Amino acid sequence: MAVDRSAYRDAMARLGAAVNVITTADTTARHGFTASAVCSVTDEPPTLLVCMNRSSRTRPAFAVGGALCVNVLAANQQEISVAFASRSEMEERFAGGRWTTLATGAPVLEEAVASFDSRITQVVEIGTHDVMFCVVEAIRMGEPRDALIYLHRTYHNLPPALLGL
């Protein structure tokens, strides 16, 4: 018997996750989206996976071999998350922070808690999403701050004291 889609989504809403802005750039523009479906795959080589809905208008910008940066947001960066989850124009999304680059040329949010500058090595299509496997080429560590978590379909702050910092 198959699991009901609605029941699955309701159960997944109980799985808290860090909020991230995923970015890339091509010769004409910067692109990005908000994602909570990000996790470590292995540390040898350092590899992350990032899930993106295939209906996303940013999808064409993310291709195998391309640059990708996972920018982990702090609690005070909820507005950035909302902007990157919106239908606003791409350059408007980037107005909420200061951006730089590291090794790959993907946009790196200077105020992020951590940024994983990566190269996409493989994309696997599963259901409605692409799972992008990304080898990390550079890391930028920000100051430890309250984490921004998405749980029960809303944002929450996780203070550093709860993180053991």
Task: Provide the residue ranges of all domains of the chain, joining segments of one domain with +.
Answer: 18-153
Strand 154-158 versus strand 99-100 pairing type:
unpaired
Section 63-78 average pLDDT: 95
Query: Which superfamily does 18-153 belong to?
Result: Electron Transport, Fmn-binding Protein; Chain A (2.30.110.10)
- The owner of tokens 């890339």 is 24
Q: What is the pLDDT of residues 88-138, one digit of tens each?
A: 999 999 999 999 999 999 999 999 999 999 999 999 999 999 999 999 999
Could you tell me where the DSSP H helices lie in 36-121?
78-85, 90-93
Residues 6+ apart with CB under 8 A from 152: 13, 14
**Confidence bin at 27 (pLDDT 50/70/90):** confident
Distance CA 95, CA 109 (A): 11
Evaluate the CA torsion angle 101, 107, 108, 111 in order and state its sign: positive
